[in-house]
Structure 1
Amino acid sequence: RERGGDLVFLTSTAAHDTYPGGGGYVAAKHAERIIANTLRQELVGEPVRVIEIAPGMVRTEEFSLNRLGSQEAADRVYEGVAQPLVAEDIAEAIVWTLERPSHVNIDSMIVRPVAQATNTLVARTAPEA
């Protein structure tokens, strides 16, 4: 704490809003967000930045597969979505927050693809016949 540092919390848009079927995930991400908010208050005045990055729809090889249990179900999450985010997009956002001058803290950054307005409102093209 005396030397300063950065704490980065990778939450989710689920930490900021709910959606049907996401009870456990939403609760965990809300809790993680509140831990970051609490630490920010407990460490105020110390040279420690507390940063939350909250991604929306990010297409990775494992996340939806692990969460939903099948490749078919995982593929449906991104079906018809033009350019969902990818892991590199989030990595770049994290790096950007850490590269700010030491007196600048990015409290919370929500990152979504253009096709996603909320956790449940996503623009999709019609499936190909």
Structure 2
Amino acid sequence: MKHVLVDTLRNHRVAQVVDTIEERFDVHPSLEWHECSDDTVERGAWNRNPDDGSFTNQRAAHDASPQGQRDNMKFERQLAYGPFGDQLDAIYRDMRDGTTTFIDHIDKVKSDIPKVAAVDPIDKDRILDPD
């Protein structure tokens, strides 16, 4: 059974995970050791529910939420678009040569990674929706 160090001041976030009781060490009063039967619990993204002792992967919960899906879509598109310098170079070459390589690339990224509607009204396209 794993032993999990929980930070009570930070929403009961898992701060450390050790495999045996012998690996435990003395900690500040704001930290607590708990036994954990879930072998998938890791430090950082996991929180412990103090009411029932269960552990929740906050990152997985966020990724499954509408906002998490939107965040992942934006991140994946940003990676697929490529560095700004490469984008500007492609736009320049298309303008110079009369080609559509850049637009074709952007269209492919948008079709491969479909748009996820914004949940937050602040999260909008600032160029197309300038208000």
Q: TM-score range by the shorter chain?
A: under 0.3
Structure number with the higher strand fraction is: 2
Q: TM-score, normalised by structure 2?
A: 0.25
Q: Which is bigger in relative contact order (C-alpha 8 A, separation at least 6)? A: 1
Kindly name which structure, 1 or 2, has the bigger radius of gyration based on alpha carbons. 2
